[in-house]
Amino acid sequence: MTLTQLFNLALACYFAALVSAVIQLFGKRRFFDVVALVLLLGGFVAQTVYLGMRWAEAGRAPFSNMFESLVLFAWTIAAVYLVLRIRVRVPWLGAASAAFCALALAHASSFESAINPLVPALQSNWLSFHVMTCFLGYGAFAVAFLSGIGFLVADRRGSAAAPETRAALEGIVSGTISFGFLFLTLGILTGAVWANSAWGTYWSWDPKETWSLVTWFIYAIFLHCRFVRGWRGQPASWLAILGFLSVLFTYYGVNFLLSGLHSYGSK
């Protein structure tokens, strides 16, 4: 299969997984839950093959521009959800994750997908380490964000959601943020080492560096409030949502609204 065919297959699988998951939510038929899981797994496999082929064709990690980063973002969200699905079954989260993956790939298709030479600053072995660790964190934070919204909906007055569902969503928020925080920290550290080799300084207060630090502090506050002060339920969910809004601005907004050393990411 060609790269375009694999991309379209992954997008189709995620969209079909969303449709199946929504049918399961309203129809309460386990068959559609299984179909949604198989389709989501199929999209993930198609994306994995796509990334591998693009890596081989480009001769570098395919993480250098907005198109490639959106593809990677969708892949990490699917990966985090599928790992969670082994232990926890929350149908709403499956539908939301599939929707997020489909939206990310659909948006990626609006950017140039051609494989271009790297700009000098990106010609480093640190590229794959830095970007992969950051995006594993972003994928985990995205799932935490979706789980936080799910908890707020399930916890509202008059909700028919079972206590087990609320407890599962609350646990997912804490677990995915803990996982994401570890990888965001590694991403910032590897980025600092990379910056020193590329520009001769570990930290230059570039807009993306600054907002990465802001995001890191928000999630550090979450972990402190959750595990030291015992925050649970709605306060923790709202903080998870706030953190992901910071992630979105760090990843996406900075590229288009602020200029800096990372401005190549908007191409």
Give pLDDT tens digits for 177-196: 999 999 999 999 998 888 78
Tens digits of per-residue pLDDT, 5-14? 999 999 999 9
Asked if 205 and 219 touch (Cβ cutoff 8 Å), the reply is: no
Contact between 261 and 175 under an 8 Å Cβ cutoff? The reply is: no
pLDDT-derived band at 19 (thresholds 50, 70, 90) equals: very high
| Out of 67-71, 90-94, 159-163, 193-197, least confident range | 159-163
Task: Say if CB 180 and CB 243 are below 8 A apart.
Answer: no
- Distance in angstroms (rounded) separating the CA atoms of residues 50 and 32: 26
Rounded Cα distance, 71 and 61, in Å: 12
Q: What is the SS3 assignment for 28? A: coil
| pLDDT at residue 91 in the model | 80
Q: What is the mean pLDDT of residues 136-162?
A: 87
pLDDT of residue 127: 79
The residue ranking higher by pLDDT, 32 or 43, is 43
Confidence of residue 160 (pLDDT cuts 50, 70, 90): low
| For range 219-226, the mean pLDDT | 94
One-letter identity of residue 252: Y
pLDDT at 3 over 80: yes
Q: Do the Cβ atoms of 23 and 33 come closer than 8 Å?
A: no
Please give the model's pTM, rounded to 2 decimal places. 0.92
**How much is the average pLDDT of 46-64?**
92
